[in-house]
Chain A
Amino acid sequence: MSTFGTRTWNPGTLPSNDNVNPYAFSVDLNGQWFAQKGKMIAYYGQIKFEALSAGPLDSLVAHTFNSPLYAQDWIVAQGQGKLLLADRGYDVNSFDLDNGNLTVRAGNLLAFEPGLELKQSIIPGFLTLIGTGRFVAASNGPVHFVEPPIRVDPQALLGWADCPSPCHHYDHSYMRGAFGAARMVFGIGGQSGEEHQFDFTGQGTVLMQSSEAVMNEDTLLRDLEGQIGLVGTSGLQRLQNTINQRLSAERQG
C-alpha cells in the first residue's frame, strides 16, 4: 500500500476478469475479446489490437459481430496478458450471460467475449448480445435493476435482459380538462419534459443508470444513416425537403 491508500499493481496482482476498482476492469486475456475503441487504458503482456476489417479476423467477425453500423467503433484485442478497460470515470461492471440475451446502450458497452453474438437492437442506439459469455459495460453511477411493468426515461435506460423490446409511450394527459385546454390554447406551462418514455411489459429485467448528460450524437446520426436504406425515392425527396427547411431555418436563426 502506498501512502495515499492506492495500491500499486503488477501483472501478477491485477485481478483476473474482475474489477480493479469501481471504475476500471481487468480482463485476463487469453485469446480474443472484442473491445470498443478508446476504452482500453492500459495492458500488460503480448496483446495486439486489430481493426475488424483486418483480413484474418474475417470468420470471427462474420460469426459474432453482426452490426456493420458499429464495426468502425470496435477492435479485436488478441494475445495474452491483462487488459484494463475504463470509460469516462463511469462505474464499470461485468455481467455473465448463460445462453441468454441482453440489450445495452451502444456507447456503454466496453467489451465482450467472442462466445457472445453482437446484433443491433430494434431500438436505435442499442446493441443486443446473445449467447454465453462475459461482457463489460459502463454506467453513470451504479446500475439499478427494476422489473416490468415500468416506464423509463430514454436517457436513463442502460439496457434490458430477457424481456420483449420496449415501445414508446407518450403522455399528454395533463392536456385534458379545463386547465389542460387552457394550456393547449395559450401554450402556458408548455411541456413537462417527461412526455416520452420507453414502456416495458412482460417478464425480464430492466437496467437503469442515473441519466446521461448528453446523448451520443454520433451514434444517433449513424443510426439515421443506417435506416435511410428503408425509404424509397419519394421518401428520400421528402427527407431532402425537410432537411433543406431545417437548414434554412438554422441559417436564419
Chain B
Amino acid sequence: MPGYQSINAKMLQVPIGPGQEVYSKRGAMLAYAGPVSFAPTATAGQGLGGTLGRAVAGERTAMMHVTGQGSVLFGQSGMDVTVIDLNGADTLYVEADRLLVHDASLQVGTMFMGEQGGVRGIVRGAVTGQGLFTSTLTGHGSCALLSHGGVMELPIGPQRPVHVDPQAYVAHRGQVQNKLTTAVGLRDLVGRGSGEAFQLELSGTGVVYIQASERKI
C-alpha cells in the first residue's frame, strides 16, 4: 500500500483506493486525479458517541470522507504539512483543527482534557484557547498535521519532562501526562509579565511535536 507522499513542505499526495479511504478536513483538497468523491461526514469515523462528544466539546472541525480510486493533493492556506505514521503501539493526541487528513483505518476518539490533569487540564484548555477536548488517533495508518513552519519532535523521557509553550504545542504521542504549570508572579498581576506565564509540562515516555510559531490555525 503506497503511503502519503510529500510533494513539498506544504503539499501532500495521498493515494485513494478500495480499502484505502481517508477522512480529511473540509476545504483542504487542492486537486485530484481519477474518480474520487468527497462526501461531508458528521461523524468523521468516530461513531455516534464520539460525534456527541465532539458536538458538546465544540471540537467540530468539519471533515469529509474521501473515497474512490485515484490520488488527491491536500494542503491548506500555505501551512506546513507533517506526516505521522502510527503503528498501533501508541496514541496520537492532536487538536482537531490541526488534523489535515487521516486514514479511515485509524480509530478516532475525543479525549476530555480533564481526564489528564484534572482541574488543571480544564484550566489549560481555557487558558490556551485549545479547548477542553483533544482528538485521539490509534491503530495502524498515517495522518498529516498542519503547522506554521513545520514541526519539531522533542522526545519525552521518564527523567526528562518537557515544558512547551501551549501555543507552540501541536500534538503528542505515547504514555504522556500533561499538566499546565504556572509561573505567575507579582509582575504578571501588575501587567508586567514575561508573557510566558503558562507552560505545558509533558512527562512520561513519548514524543511531543511543536511548531516554531505561536500562531493558531
Contacts and interface: CB of A to CB of B under 8 A. Distances in A.
Interface in B43-89: 62, 64, 73, 75-79
A174 B31 contact: no
Chain B, interface size category, equals: 20 to 34
Q: Which of A153, A206, A211, A213 has the most CB of B within 10 A?
A: A211
A173 interface: yes
B184 interface: no
Interface string B6-34: 01111100000000000000111111110
A208 B31 CA distance: 9
| Overall SS of chain A's interface | loop
Given A193-B64, A213-B77, A151 B31 contact: yes
Interface stretch (A37-45, A112-120, A141-149, A227-235): A141-149
Contact of A208 (B38, B39, B73): B73
A56 interface: no
B78 A210 contact: yes
A163 interface: no
Contacts of B78: 140-141, 209-213
Given A171-B37, A171-B38, A174-B37, A210 B10 contact: yes
A194 B26 CA distance: 7
Contacts of A192: 26, 38-40, 64
B170 to A, nearest CB: 18
A139 B195 CA distance: 34
A189 interface: yes
A188 B42 contact: yes
Given A141-B8, A141-B9, A210-B78, A189 B41 contact: yes
B10 A141 contact: yes
A193 B29 CA distance: 9
Contacts of A146: 31, 33, 73
A69 interface: no
Contacts of B42: 188-189
Interface of A: 140-142, 144, 146, 149-153, 156, 171, 173-174, 183, 188-195, 197, 206, 208-213
